[in-house]
Amino acid sequence: MTTVDDNESTLTARTPLDLRALRIKRVIAHVIFQKDSKGQPVQPQLSTKVLDLPNDALLELEDRIAKALGENAASLPIEFFEQAAGSYYAHGNTVLSARTDDEFVEASQEIAQLLADAQLSRNPPGGVLLIVQASLKLGTMPLALVIKAEAQSGFGRKSDSGEVEIEVIKELFLTRRQAVYKVAALARPRQQSEAEAPEVIGWLFDSNLTRRDAQVRPANYFLQGFLKAKVRETGATETAAFYRAVTTFANEADISDQERLQVIDNLATFLAREEITVFTVQEFQETNIPEDIRDQFHEHIVKSEIPLNGIQLDTTHIKNQVRKNALEFTSMVRINYPAGEDLITVVGRSDDGKGTLVRISGELLKAR
């Protein structure tokens, strides 16, 4: 099992969830099916007992989950807009605190049914739904994981026993076989007193999202339909949203190619500053947007629902974009260059109107 030092740092709704100290207590697996050819839902195959994994397989499962949901999967804090009885949040809390196998199994079955019902079209594939009761930080932090493993194939049939076989779990989670994961996590970060309401925090993992991807767009059926949640706005998500809004505006605004290039370059320089922790839209607009289109820019930012009263600067989701800019042409030619440096100038259109004249600072070093 992967181990880490158990430090005293406080886990909050604005911090990533680190699963490297995962300890599993109970685990069960159900099978979710894609809708049939007529678009009708197929009832999930619900297991009725906790998986009895050998100790070595349990330790390996802990390690595989921690690695699968590690550096290559974005951990996005989420907040639940539905917490009533019968919701994922309610059943997830039961998984979190279940004291008996029966209580755990019943809550897990309800969760599986919720996911099956949330798959309203044939687009979401079937897969194995692994539900885990666990803990972090040497057993002091209760954790519930709901993992949908969307396998490439092989999940269109039910087993004769009605239970998900251990071999299926091993194939999906204990091998290097590529699978797509969607994961909901609930944790109770600190010990609660009798007088306090439980503090439960949620996260979403999705192997289709990476920390290098500025397009942070989880599957709606899983996030909103199943979890009844939305991504909690953090510095990283707000900075990425601001980046997308500015680049979209620059590419659609009625400005010259060089002005377009300048806005994108200025954006990279603006977000790469290390001496600030918070920035505002107004601050960027006044120094980087041509005066005659600032009203249009402001309108676009408002429509994009970007906060105007301050954004915590965090380029976690857009590190590559801040480091490197690119010019793409209709001829499929692409020029990559370091962001924030005055290396490219768009001179204008060619005389025949079919090309773009670009001046590059520096002499040609080599071709490859």
pLDDT value of position 153 = 46
Helix (H, G, I), strand (E, B) or coil at 263: helix
Residues 6+ apart with CB under 8 A from 14: 77, 232, 234, 235
Confidence of residue 154 (pLDDT cuts 50, 70, 90): very low
What tokens appear for 334 in the block?
């692409």
Dihedrals φ, ψ of 44, to 5°? -70, 155
Q: Domain coordinates of the chain in residue numbers? A: 23-232, 236-360
The Cα 88–Cα 95 span in angstroms is 10
- Condensed to tens digits (0 to 9), the pLDDT of residues 230-260 reads 877 778 888 999 999 999 999 999 888 888 8
User: Lowest mean pLDDT: which of 197-206, 209-218, 289-298?
Assistant: 209-218
Select the more confidently predicted residue: 284 or 342. Answer: 284
What tokens appear for 294 in the block?
């600032």
Block residue for tokens 């599993």:
24
- Condensed to tens digits (0 to 9), the pLDDT of residues 16-41 reads 677 778 899 999 999 999 888 888 88
The Cα 33–Cα 36 span in angstroms is 8
Whole-model pTM: value is 0.65
Block residue for tokens 């996030």:
223
The Cα 271–Cα 157 span in angstroms is 50
User: What is the average pLDDT across 266-275?
Assistant: 82
Assess contact for 200 and 220: CB atoms under 8 A. Answer: no
Q: Which helix (H) or strand (E) holds 79?
A: strand 74-80
Q: Which helix (H) or strand (E) holds 118?
A: helix 101-118
- DSSP assignment of 257-279: HHHHHHHHHHHHHHHT-SS-SEE
Strand partners, 24: 134
pLDDT value of position 212 = 40
The Cα 271–Cα 269 span in angstroms is 6
pLDDT surpasses 80 at 177: no
Strand partners, 76: 204
pLDDT value of position 5 = 42
pLDDT value of position 10 = 56
User: What is the average pLDDT across 315-322?
Assistant: 80
Ramachandran bin of 39, using left for φ above 0, alpha for ψ from -120 to 50, beta for the remaining angles: left
pLDDT surpasses 70 at 304: yes
* Torsional sign, CA 346, 349, 351, 355: positive
* Torsional sign, CA 334, 339, 341, 346: positive
